[in-house]
Structure 1
Amino acid sequence: MKNINVLLAADENYADQLQITIKTTLENLNKKTRVNFIVLSNNLSNSTKLALKKLAHGLHTVEYLDLDPSVFAFCPTNSHINKTAYYRILAPQLLAKRNIDRILYLDVDLLVRHDLTELYDAELNHNIVGAVIDTGQAFALNRLGVDPVVAANNIYFNSGILVIDIKKWNENHITEKTLNYIKHQSHLIIFHDQDALNAVLAGHVQMLHPKWNLQNSIVFRKHRPINEAYDQLINEAIKSPAIVHFTTHEKPWKTLSEHPYLDEYHEELNELEINRGVVNVISAANSAFVEALATSYISILENDSENQYNFYLLPDHLDQRDMLILGSVISRYDNASIKIVKVDEKLLENAVESDRILKSAYYRILAPELLPNINRAIYLDCDIIANTNLHDLWQTSLEGNVLAAVEDAGFHDRLEHMGITHDNSKYFNSGMMLIDLVSWRSQAVTQRVLDYINHNPEKLRFHDQDALNAILYDKWLHLHPKWNAQSNIVLDALVPPRTELLKLYAETRENPKLIHFCGHVKPWHAESKHPYTNVYLKYNKKLREPVRT
């Protein structure tokens, strides 16, 4: 076996990105290579460390170097770069004591797509580091005060991926020189540690093929190649990158909305969320629906004791009694938690309301922005009861769509009435949605839906549902109606608009997975004739049982 050392730096805020970097590294690795991952951190949680150990699956190793951030107290930061970015500067000095001759440093905003053994073994030709050009700053060495002769014969590199000769680094006192540069030449620094490393290492860098660090500026050709030779290399890198590096403040888990490898990264985030064994469920409720929501929680938890359920509640002016009801339910189950997420209704001041659809119905539109640290969630209306384990739904591949949902049973022509023409005219019911929150945020869905609401109130018959369909009409995955068994389906109250729905509706009536008591009459009303009223009452009865001690 060949052993290679890979250095990464991350805190808990980048735990997901750290896991994806390690996961994609191992998925593309030569089977004859063993990796020792060295993670520079100061606050990784035990759960993250456990997840990394699982990824290494025994063959590879993960170890941690905890560093004192006060060492970098004088180093500048911003919203995009924190103190963790400076850890790489100190690492080679620490690793010299471990008889490690070479290390591959990786930022964690990466997608690895090729065996890193080749990069690790790159010929450095007696240089201290190997790195890839930063096309936007290629000729920036003069700006950093580098000797004009050296600056004229060298180019600026991106420090997110570095092959480092530990012995040469320490012989040339690069750690000390870099920290000294930051301390005394801060007025020259724009790109923080990267500027400092370029100033100190100028003339000692082996430039590598840009396929090993495909930065956003290269992908989008924001800068002209420095010469014809680099033009060819950049074309090769874009066509077949070995490492995709999501540089700049726009990240695939935040606001990045266009990138050829964005969907691939989102798939990794979704897989990460699925494999955690944690199901995120979002709901919104006012006092009138608290008991229904509590009953919904019970139905979900009674059908699954193996997976952890994190419930996120967007409250519409709930009082202390309401919170006690919900807290009492959650406290009965070891695999459940609840978090209350406050909503600023100012964002909804122009939203259309009715006697049946209140402003809280629009809360689901805000949820992805209010919960920036989760990647996937199931949204459920309060009048939905689980009749099965939700994990099969949770693991559904969204196939690049923003969400998965069930076609509305009753209002199939809403897109046409809203003036939206499209080959696929299917209109979904928003009472149950499996949402890729990362894609939602990157495509600015919240703002686009709110804009539609504010500018088209006359088109909104079904309020938030109409607005969601208006924006996402071609970005949703069609699910079997059993995952949103609406009252019209269960009561056999309509003729399906297409013959293929006859079989699906029959299957849903026989075995609904999620029963949605939509419509005016609810199962807690005496006049309810819904065939699954007894299922609701069964779980509702448990709400009144004494709490187990």
Structure 2
Amino acid sequence: MYFDANKIIKKMIIFGARNNNNVNQLNIAYGIDKNFFLGCTTSITSILLTNPSLCFNFHIFTNYINDDLEKKLEQLADDYGTTIIIYLVDDNGLSHLPTTKNWTIATYFRFIVADYFYGKIDKILYLDADIICKGSLKELCTLNFDNNIAYVVTEKDSIWWNKCATRLDEHKLSSGYFNAGFLLINLKKWQEFNVNSKALELLSDSNRSGKFTHLDQDVLNIILLEKVKYLDRKYNQQVSINYELKYKSNINCYSPISDETILIHYIGPTKPWHKWARDYKCSQYFIDAKSASPWKSTPLLSATTATQMRYCAKHKLHQKKLLRGFICYLIYCIKKIKV
């Protein structure tokens, strides 16, 4: 192991009463920084709304917390009779690992999750914070791993898998490449196979990491090759709100979400908690869940970075909000010049 999770976790804060084990209980973990808190808490709310008969323990691994968040997390746990635990992480030990503007150090918190819970529980569901639930998760409570390390869901299609196989120099990936935003982990097998050590070793190898455009996701696909079981796409239906820009009207709009979809994964730089995304049908699942949470009065987030301003401008122009679109574009140009 490159790290001891018990040393990296500086503090635990428990909201609500701890739930007892039963057949319909599911432990769900998130790894986030401060920018994804609104997404994470809305994700939790959506799960509770759509699964009232199930029992959950939610585990949030983060490097940030404040008094307002603690107050609202307490309220969320009380309102829905659930358990939410904050694990305040010292991420200095991970600072040598590669990051990008879209992939922060928090992407590696999933390794802390797997390390921490080994020996405590049998399995845990890791979810990205930009996932919203609209269906039952009951099936996940009783799935048999059949000696596999994890249940996963494929990303995109065979064309993408082939590209990943070429880029990562692993031809077997042409049979399937998964999205790491959904990982139902067999903790015993994960530990036995030394997944954390192997992953962190690859990520620390500058000769190998240059090929990793998706960082830990690429690495996990390499390490877990032929050691995962695939679930239906309904458990990780990827939605890019920026794809809305390809359609001229709401009549022929972007609609990958079906009645069968259980988990919606908002991929890409535009998230449903951004103000410029709120008018789209695909964002409504997030808006509805947020409205049922202690964050219902919290404003959606405005564009601040140059990248966000660029997308905000594109979406405002697409929505025929021309003045606001041109203003955002001007701000984007100014920010780019300053950089």
Deviations 1:323-367 (A, max 9, x none): xxxxxxxxxxxxxxxxxxxxxxxxxxxxxxxxxxxxxxxxxxxxx
* Structure 1 counterpart SS, 2:126: strand
Contact 2:34 2:64 in 1 (8 A): yes
1:214 aligns with 2:234: no
Cα RMSD between the aligned structures?
3.3
- Tell me, yes or no, if structure 1 residue 43 matches structure 2 residue 64: yes
Task: Spell out, residue by residue over 1:266-301, the C-alpha distance to the aligned partner (whole angstroms, 9 max, x if none).
Answer: 34445557745x7x8xxxxxxxxxxxxxxxxxxxxx
* 8 A Cα contact 2:33 2:63, kept in partner: yes
Structure 2 unmatched runs, 5+ = 1-21, 245-254, 306-311, 328-339
Secondary structure of the corresponding residue to residue 39 of structure 1: strand
Counterpart of 1:252 in structure 2 is 272
**Do the aligned partners of 2:241 and 2:277 also contact (CA within 8 Å) in 1?**
no
Deviation for aligned residue 1:108: 0.7
Query: Which residue number corresponds to residue 198 of structure 1?
Result: 221
Kindly provide the amino acid, as one letter, of the partner of residue 59 in structure 2: I
Identity %: 23
> Relative to structure 1, is the Cα distance of residues 271 and 29 closer, same or farther in structure 2, using a 3 angstrom cutoff?
closer
> Is the CA contact 1:257–1:442 (under 8 Å) kept in the aligned structure 2?
no
- The alpha-carbon distance between structure 1 residues 45 and 123, as it changes in their structure 2 partners (threshold 3 A), is same
In the alignment, which of 99, 115, 120 is matched to residue 136 of structure 2? 115
The 1:274–1:250 alpha-carbon spacing in structure 2 relative to 1, beyond 3 Å, is closer
CA distance in 1 between partners of 2:204 and 2:181 (Å): 21
Identify if the C-alpha distance between structure 1 residues 260 and 119 changes in structure 2 by more than 3 Å, giving closer, same or farther: farther
Q: Deviations over 1:145-164 (max 9, x none)?
A: 33x4x435x41000001100
Change (3 A) 1:117 1:451: closer
Q: Is the 8 A contact 2:134 2:285 kept in 1?
A: no
3-state DSSP class of the match of 2:76? Answer: helix
Q: Contact 2:257–2:282 (CA<8 Å) still a contact in 1? A: no
Report the equivalent of 1:130: 151
Distance in 1, Cα, partners of 2:314 & 2:145: 41
Q: How big is each residue's C-alpha offset from its partner over 1:373-407, in whole Å with a ceiling of 9 and x where there is no partner?
A: xxxxxxxxxxxxxxxxxxxxxxxxxxxxxxxxxxx
Cα separation, partners in 2 of 1:22 and 1:369, compared to 1, 3 Å? closer
Greater alpha carbon shift after TM alignment, 157-166 vs 84-93: 84-93
Hey, what does 1:328 align to over in structure 2?
none
Aligned partner (choices 23, 28, 43) of residue 21 of structure 1 = 43
Separation in 1 of the partners of 2:326 and 2:116?
55
Q: What one-letter code is carried by the residue in structure 1 that aligns with 2:88?
A: D
Partner of 1:53: 74
Contact 2:313 2:324 in 1 (8 A): no
Classify 1:217/1:101 alpha carbon distance in 2 versus 1 (closer, same or farther; 3 Å): same
Aligned length: 280
Q: 1:253 to 1:195 in 2, by over 3 A?
A: same
Q: Which structure's relative contact order is higher, taking Cα pairs within 8 Å and 6+ residues apart?
A: 2
Counterpart amino acid of 2:118?
A
Q: Distance in 1 between matches of 2:237 and 2:99?
A: 24
Could you tell me how far 1:62 is from its partner in structure 2? 1.2
The 1-side partners of 2:89 and 2:77 are apart by: 23
**Residues 201 and 237 of structure 1, relative CA distance in 2, 3 Å threshold:** farther
Structure 2 counterpart of 1:188, from 206, 211, 227:
211
Structure 2: which amino acid aligns with 1:119? L
- Residue of structure 2 aligned with 1:261, choices 282, 292, 295: 282
Matched residue SS, 1:135: coil
What is the Cα deviation at residue 5 of structure 1?
Answer: 0.7
* CA distance in 2: counterparts of 1:165 and 1:252, whole angstroms: 31
C-alpha distance in 1, partners of 2:267/2:326? Answer: 32
Q: 1:240 Cα deviation (Å)?
A: 2.6
Q: 1:48 to 1:142 in 2, by over 3 A?
A: same
Q: Which amino acid aligns with 1:47?
A: D
1:197/1:76 CA distance change after superposition, 3 Å: same
Cα distance in 2 for partners of 1:11, 1:115 equals: 27
Q: Which residue of 2 aligns with 1:286?
A: none
What TM-score, normalized by structure 2, do the two folds share? 0.72
**Match for 1:202: what amino acid?**
L
**TM-aligned CA distance change 1:203 to 1:126, over 3 Å:** same
